[in-house]
Structures are given as C-alpha cells and as structure tokens.
Amino acid sequence: MGDVIWGNGSNTLSASSFVLNVTHRKNGNRDDYSDMEKITVTSVDLPGMPRNKDDWTEESLRACVVDAFLKCEVERRDESGTIMGKISHSGAGGY
Amino acid sequence: MAHATDKGKYFKDSTECRITLKEIFCGITNPVLQIYEAVGRMFPDHSVSLAREFQYDYSQAVIRIHEKGRSVPVHKDNVKYEGREYDVSSIDHQLSCVLHLQESESGGDLVLYNRSWKKDDEQFRNIDFGYSRNLTESSQSYRAPNLEAGDLVIINPIYYHEVTRIIGDVPRITLGMFLGFYSQKRKIVAWA
C-alpha cells in the first residue's frame, strides 16, 4: 500500500493540478507531508469530474476540488516536489 | 470505486436489489409501495414514483441491519452535492424516509441537529464517513423518542443527524429511501 493523505482542496493551478490543505495522513506513510501540498492529478474518482483526462479543464477541476474533502493516493513526487497521485472524494458525507 | 461515481455498477446493483426486496416481501404488501401511498397522501398535488434515468430504475430502498456496538456518525445526505453524476441531483428538495422494521433493545436512537450542511463544513469531515462531532456540539439537538417497528421517520437530511450506538443483541433494522421534490412539476421521485 502506498502513502495516503487527506484534506480539503484549495486553489487550482491548472486543469490537472491544485493545492491540497492536508489534514490527515495515513499511519505508516513512508514519507512526510506538509500541511499544504501541490498535487498533480494522475486519475480521479470524483463526482462531476470526467474520467477522461482530455476533458479536464481548470474550471471543472475547481468545481470538484475547492473546499471538497479529498483522498490522495500518492504515486510519487516529481523533481519540483509536487505530488503525483490519484484523487477521490473521500468516503461520503452520507451516501 | 464508489457508487457516487460508478453509475453502471449502481444501476446493476439496483436491479439485483429490486429482486431481493421482492423476495423479502413476497406474500405481503411491499412497504416501499405503502410509503409511496403515505407520501402521496401527504402531498396530494404531487405524483410519487420511483426515480428513473434513461431506461434504468434507481434502487427502491436500502435495508440496514445495525448490530450491537454499531453507530452511525454525524452526517448529512445531499444528493445535489454527492450525487452530481445522477439525474436526481437536479431535484429542488430532498427528504429522507426511514421505516423502522425492528428496534434494538437500547440505543440506536436517531439524533437530529439544528444545523444544516454548508460546503465550508467539509473541513470537519471524517476520513471514512461523516463529520467530526465538534461540528454539532454547540447545536440544539432532538432525539426521536420511543420509535417502534412500523414507525416512519421523515427528516430533512441536509440537517446533521446520527444514530447512537446499538446496545443489546437485537439488531436495529430499517428500510430507507430518499424523496426528491421537483417543485414546478409537482413530482416526487424516490430512490436509495
């Protein structure tokens, strides 16, 4: 199992990247994560967000991630320190 | 993958669920239909039907069996936020409808808080389900008293609610569904 972090999305940086305000970290994560991490999305499972990467826009990403509570399954960090990972809506509030 | 985004799996599971419910209620009046009739009497100028999307029926109901020690944390239900992939997210208003089939010996109480969900509340989310108790600790609350098998509880699920811990060996069993209101069309659709 890879590292997992959770938190609320804040501003978007592009059609596939945004800032995550990290609130929870999985016990046993191999790496450390700061309270604010830049994320590049490799794949998504988010209500309202197209599965096909070609259909992503900054607008659609903003509508789906800003303030939303998200789970990030970390794949790796790139050379600039940005996390590459899968983003999903974490559990559900009531569904 | 969650049902929230995997519609194909949701509608496939809904078909299987419909067959299971039919088997469970074989030989007696299906309580789902009785609920539709009761809701129709409450809103006589609205039609009441199972929600459909293209040719697919939504799930009629969900039966929940909560056993000893289980509780349901503070949460809200809001299809307009968490079910954006689905046509029912275009409703104007949502109600939650729960038929009590069996009560636990103790506990298992519904507690409703006088606080409705706002998007900013997402910072209080639990990792897996629901919200931190800190969110509702200063809100007035109402505990539904003395519920019995056969009671139908209807709430506005955008207000935070929870089910307290089940005590004793008898499980709490409920049949639940949501009602969605289309105000202009005077139409109510049900789904679970």
Tell me the per-residue pLDDT of B59-107, one tens digit each, with 9 for 90 and over: 999 999 999 999 999 999 999 998 888 999 999 999 999 999 999 999 9
Q: Which distant-in-sequence residues (6+ apart) come within 8 Å of B103 by Cβ?
A: B147, B148, B149, B170, B172
Distances (CA, A) of B165 to B56, B66, B105: 36, 9, 11
User: Is A95 inside any structural domain?
Assistant: no
Q: Which distant-in-sequence residues (6+ apart) come within 8 Å of B188 by Cβ?
A: B39, B43, B46, B47, B48, B49, B179, B180, B181, B182
- The predicted structure's pLDDT at residue A52: 86
Measured CA to CA, the distance from residue B4 to residue A88 in angstroms comes to: 11
Q: Which distant-in-sequence residues (6+ apart) come within 8 Å of B176 by Cβ?
A: B61, B62, B63, B64, B96, B97, B98, B99, B192
Provide ipTM, 2 decimals: 0.84
Tell me the per-residue pLDDT of A30-88, one tens digit each, with 9 for 90 and over: 999 999 999 999 999 888 888 889 999 999 999 999 999 999 999 999 999 999 999 99
Measured CA to CA, the distance from residue B108 to residue A79 in angstroms comes to: 52
Chain B: closest CA distance from residue A18 (Å): 17
Phi/psi of residue B99, each to 5°? -95, 125
Asked whether the beta carbons of residue A90 and residue B123 sit closer than 8 angstroms, the reply is no
User: Is A42 inside any structural domain?
Assistant: yes
Tell me the per-residue pLDDT of B126-172, one tens digit each, with 9 for 90 and over: 998 999 999 999 999 999 978 999 999 999 999 999 999 999 999 99
Q: Is the pLDDT of residue A11 over 70?
A: yes
Q: Is the pLDDT of residue B1 over 50?
A: no
B76 touching A, CB under 8 A?
A: yes
How many residues make up chain B in this entry? 192
User: Is A37 inside any structural domain?
Assistant: yes
Phi/psi of residue B138, each to 5°? -100, 5
A93 touching B, CB under 8 A?
A: yes
Helix (H) or strand (E) holding B49: strand B47-50
Of A69, A74, A43, the closest CA to residue A56 belongs to A43
User: Is A94 inside any structural domain?
Assistant: no
A68 touching B, CB under 8 A?
A: yes
Q: How many domains does chain A have?
A: 1
Asked whether the beta carbons of residue A91 and residue B120 sit closer than 8 angstroms, the reply is no
- The predicted structure's pLDDT at residue B5: 76
Give residue limits of the domains in chain B: 7-191
User: Is A60 inside any structural domain?
Assistant: yes
Chain A: closest CA distance from residue B89 (Å): 11
User: Is A77 inside any structural domain?
Assistant: yes
How many residues make up chain A in this entry? 95
Domain that holds residue A33: 4-89
- Is A33:A55 a contact under the CB 8 Å cutoff? no
In chain B, the percentage of residues whose pLDDT exceeds 90 is: 91
CATH topology for the B7-191 domain: Jelly Rolls (2.60.120)
- Give the helix, strand, coil percentages of chain B, each rounded to 5: 25, 35, 40
CB-CB neighbours of B117 under 10 Å: 20
**Which pair of structure tokens corresponds to residue A70?**
């998200």
User: Is A11 inside any structural domain?
Assistant: yes
| Per-residue confidence band for B26, with pLDDT thresholds at 50, 70 and 90 | very high
CATH code (residue A30): 2.40.50.90
Contacting residues of B for A4, CB less than 8 Å apart: none
Q: What three-state secondary structure class fits B8?
A: helix
**Which pair of structure tokens corresponds to residue B121?**
């509340």
- The predicted structure's pLDDT at residue A76: 96
| CB nearest to A67's CB, from B5, B76, B122 | B122
CB-CB neighbours of A47 under 10 Å: 22
Of B165, B162, B163, B164, the closest CA to residue B69 belongs to B165
Chain B: closest CA distance from residue A90 (Å): 6
3-state secondary structure chain A: CCCEEEEEEEEECCCCEEEEEEEEECCCCCCCCCCEEEEEEEEEECCCCCCCHHHCCHHHHHHHHECCEEEEEEEEECCCCCEEEEEEECCECCC
Asked whether the beta carbons of residue A89 and residue B77 sit closer than 8 angstroms, the reply is no
Q: Is the pLDDT of residue A28 over 70?
A: yes
